[in-house]
């Protein structure tokens, strides 16, 4: 019963490096989301994908790109990492618009 | 756009005491509201969900929340706190995106309330 799986769980990068955070869900959900969580700021939506083949910006998209590879997978890419992107990143998925979101365990990313 | 405000970034209670975590939504009545819980080093888990079917909603682990339109509130309560309730709690409301105002499941989260339970 995997649910939403995120990889890696931890990562340390140097400023300017790039990396891709991976997310996969096995619940046949249509919608997927990427959030970042910073102390005292709750979760802020970076990008979302309402359905396979579509992606849209959330509140804080600058410095990120996403790919909805197929219905199961939704990746988040940092092209040139900056210290301000140090955060915990969560992927989530949901069936339809009134259904709860299911979250992965997060990726803890530090950028030096 | 819909928003939620959680009053109190930290709440501390004694084991066995009442837990009250506050959430107020913006003026327009949302079609649904959620409370999530996050334990250390984990993702968010759904505690309970409000739809228009009932104003008092029961969730997991003995938590419940009451929707009060007159107060634009959806406060989370538990009669007797347990040490295992120590976590961060988030209230969330659906956002509005797209030309038709469909939320596509997009949620706007409150800033979170950290609950500490003392022995």
Question: What does the pLDDT look like over A42-95, one tens digit per residue?
Answer: 899 999 998 888 999 988 999 999 999 899 999 999 999 999 999 999 999 988
As a whole number, mean pLDDT of residues B32-47 equals 92
Burial class (CB in 10 A: 0-12, 13-18, 19+), A71: middle
Structure tokens at A106: 């997060």
- Please name the helix (run of DSSP H) or strand (run of DSSP E) that holds residue A17, with its range, or none: none
Per-residue model confidence (pLDDT) at position B97 = 47
Rounded to 5°, the CA angle A70-A72-A77 comes to 70
Does B86 contact chain A (CB < 8 Å)?
Answer: no
pLDDT bucket at B51, cuts 50 / 70 / 90: confident
B53-96 pLDDT per residue, tens: 788 999 999 999 999 989 999 999 999 999 999 999 999 988 75
Degrees to nearest 5, angle at CA B17 with B62 and B45: 35
Spatial separation of the C-alpha atoms in residues B77 and A57, rounded to whole Å: 34
pLDDT at B96: 59
Q: What is the pLDDT of residue B100?
A: 47
Q: Is the model more confident about A96 or about B102?
A: A96
Predicted confidence at residue B108, as pLDDT, reads 86
B41–A42 C-beta distance less than 8 A: no
Q: Is the pLDDT of residue A99 over 60?
A: yes
Q: Which positions in chain A touch B49 (Cβ < 8 Å)? A: 100
| CB nearest B44 (choices: A31, A48, A103) | A103
pLDDT confidence of residue B41: 86
Chain B: residue nearest A58 by CA?
B106
Q: Are strands B56-58 and A4-7 parallel, antiparallel or unpaired?
A: unpaired
**pLDDT single digits (tens) A17-39:** 999 999 999 999 999 999 999 98
Rounded Cα gap, residues A82 and A69, in angstroms: 25
pLDDT of res. A55: 93
Closest Cα of chain B to A31: distance in Å? 7
pLDDT exceeds cutoff 90 at A108: yes
Q: How far off is chain B from A105, nearest CA to CA, in Å? A: 4
Query: Is B65 exposed, middle or buried, given 0-12, 13-18 or 19+ CB atoms closer than 10 A?
Result: buried
Return residues 36-75 of B near A (CB < 8 Å).
41-46, 49, 51
Confirm or reject contact between B20 and chain A (CB < 8 A).
no
The answer to whether the beta carbons of residues B91 and B74 sit under 8 Å apart is: yes
In chain A, whose CA is at the least distance from the CA of B42? A105
Cβ of A48 within 8 Å of Cβ of B9? The answer is: no
* Dihedral (CA of A92, A49, B96, B2) sign: positive
Who among B34, B46, B103 is closest to A97 (CB)? B103
Phi-psi region of A71 (alpha: psi -120 to 50; beta: other; left: phi over 0): alpha
Decide: helix, strand or coil at residue B83: helix
The H-assigned helical ranges of B3-115 are none
When the pLDDT of each residue in chain A is averaged and rounded to a whole number, the result is: 93
Q: Is the pLDDT of residue B98 over 60?
A: no
Nearest to B35 by CA among B13, B57, B3, B15: B57
């Amino acid at each position: 019963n995997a649910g939403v799986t995120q990889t890696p769980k931890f990562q340390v990068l140097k400023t300017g490096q790039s990396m891709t955070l991976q997310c996969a869900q096995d619940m046949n959900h249509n919608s997927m989301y990427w959030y970042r969580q910073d102390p005292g700021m709750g979760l802020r939506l970076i990008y979302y994908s309402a359905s396979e083949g579509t992606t849209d910006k959330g509140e804080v998209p600058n410095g990120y790109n996403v790919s909805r590879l197929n219905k199961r997978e939704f990746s988040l890419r940092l092209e040139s990492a900056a210290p301000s992107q140090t955060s915990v990143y969560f992927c989530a998925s949901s069936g339809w618009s009134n259904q709860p979101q299911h979250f992965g365990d997060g990726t803890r990313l530090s950028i030096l | 756009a819909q928003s939620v405000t959680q009053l109190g970034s930290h709440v501390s209670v004694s084991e066995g005491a009442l837990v009250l975590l506050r959430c107020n939504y913006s003026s327009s009545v949302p079609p649904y509201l959620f409370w999530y819980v996050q334990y250390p080093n984990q993702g968010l888990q759904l505690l309970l969900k409000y739809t228009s079917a009932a104003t008092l909603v029961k969730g997991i682990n003995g938590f419940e929340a009451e929707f009060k339109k007159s107060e634009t509130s959806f406060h989370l309560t538990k009669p007797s706190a347990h040490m295992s309730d120590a976590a961060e709690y988030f209230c969330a409301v659906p956002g509005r995106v797209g030309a038709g105002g469909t939320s596509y499941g997009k949620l706007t989260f409150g800033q979170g309330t950290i609950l500490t339970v003392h022995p």
